[in-house]
Amino acid sequence: MLLQFSVKNFRTFKDKATLSLVASNYDKATRESENIYHDNKFNLRILKSAVVYGANASGKSKLFEALMFMERFVITSSKESKKGDKIDVEPYKLNSESEHSPTEFEVIFIFKNVMYRYGFEADRKMVISEWLYYRPNTKEIELFYREGNNFEIHQKKFSKANTLVKEGLVRDNALLISVSAQFNDDTSISVLNWFENLKTISGLHEEGYQGFTMSQTEDRPYKAKILSLLKVADLGIQDIKLQKLDIDKLSKNVPKELVDKINKEVNEEKAEFFSDIITTHKKYDINKKVIDSVYFSLDDDESSGTRKIFALTGPIIDVIENGYILVVDELDAKLHPNLVCKLVSLFNSKDLNKKNAQLIFNTHDTNLLSSGLFRRDQIWFTDKNQFGEAKLYSLADFKSDEVRKTESFEENYINGKYGAIPFLGFFDNLNTILPAYENEG
Domain boundary among 322, 345, 375: 322
10 and 26 together in one domain: yes
End-of-domain residue from the set 322, 341, 373: 322
Q: Which of 119, 95, 94 is nearest to 107 (CA)?
A: 119
Tell whether the model's pLDDT for residue 342 goes beyond 60.
Answer: yes
Whether residue 318 is found in the same domain as residue 393 = no
User: Please, which residues bridge with residue 46 across strands?
Assistant: 22, 37
- Is residue 144 domain-shared with residue 259, that is, in the same domain? no
Q: 58 lies in which domain range?
A: 1-197+323-441
Same domain for 218 and 193 = no
For residues 246 and 115, state if they share a domain. Answer: no
Tally helices (H) and strands (E) across the chain.
13, 18
**Element at 52 (helix H, strand E):** strand 49-54
pLDDT tens per residue across span 250-280: 656 666 676 666 666 666 665 567 778 999 9
Q: Are 16 and 106 found together in one domain?
A: yes
Same domain, 308 and 343: no
Q: Measured at the alpha carbon of residue 332, what is the angle toward residues 329 and 333, in degrees to the nearest 5?
A: 80
Could you give the number of structural domains in the chain? Answer: 2
Confidence of residue 206 (pLDDT cuts 50, 70, 90): confident
Query: Is 187 in the same domain as 333?
Result: yes
Angle between helices 220-232 and 304-322 (to 10 degrees): 120
Q: Per residue in 69-123, pLDDT tens? A: 999 999 999 988 888 999 999 999 999 999 999 999 999 999 999 999 999 999 9
Is residue 2 located within the same domain as residue 127?
A: yes
- Pair 124, 143: CB distance under 8 Å: no
**153 and 5 in a common domain:** yes
- Mean pLDDT of all residues belonging to the chain: 89
Closest CA to 24 of 415, 393, 423: 393
Max CA pair span of the chain? 81
Predicted TM-score of the model (pTM): 0.89
If asked whether residues 60 and 128 sit together in one domain, one would say: yes
For 267-335, the DSSP string reads: HHS----EEEEEEEEEEE-TTS-EEEEEEEETTTTS-HHHHHHHHHHHHHHHHHHHT-EEEEETTTTTS
Identify the three-state secondary structure at position 167.
coil
Q: Which of 322, 344, 377 is the last residue of a domain?
A: 322
2 beta partners: 109
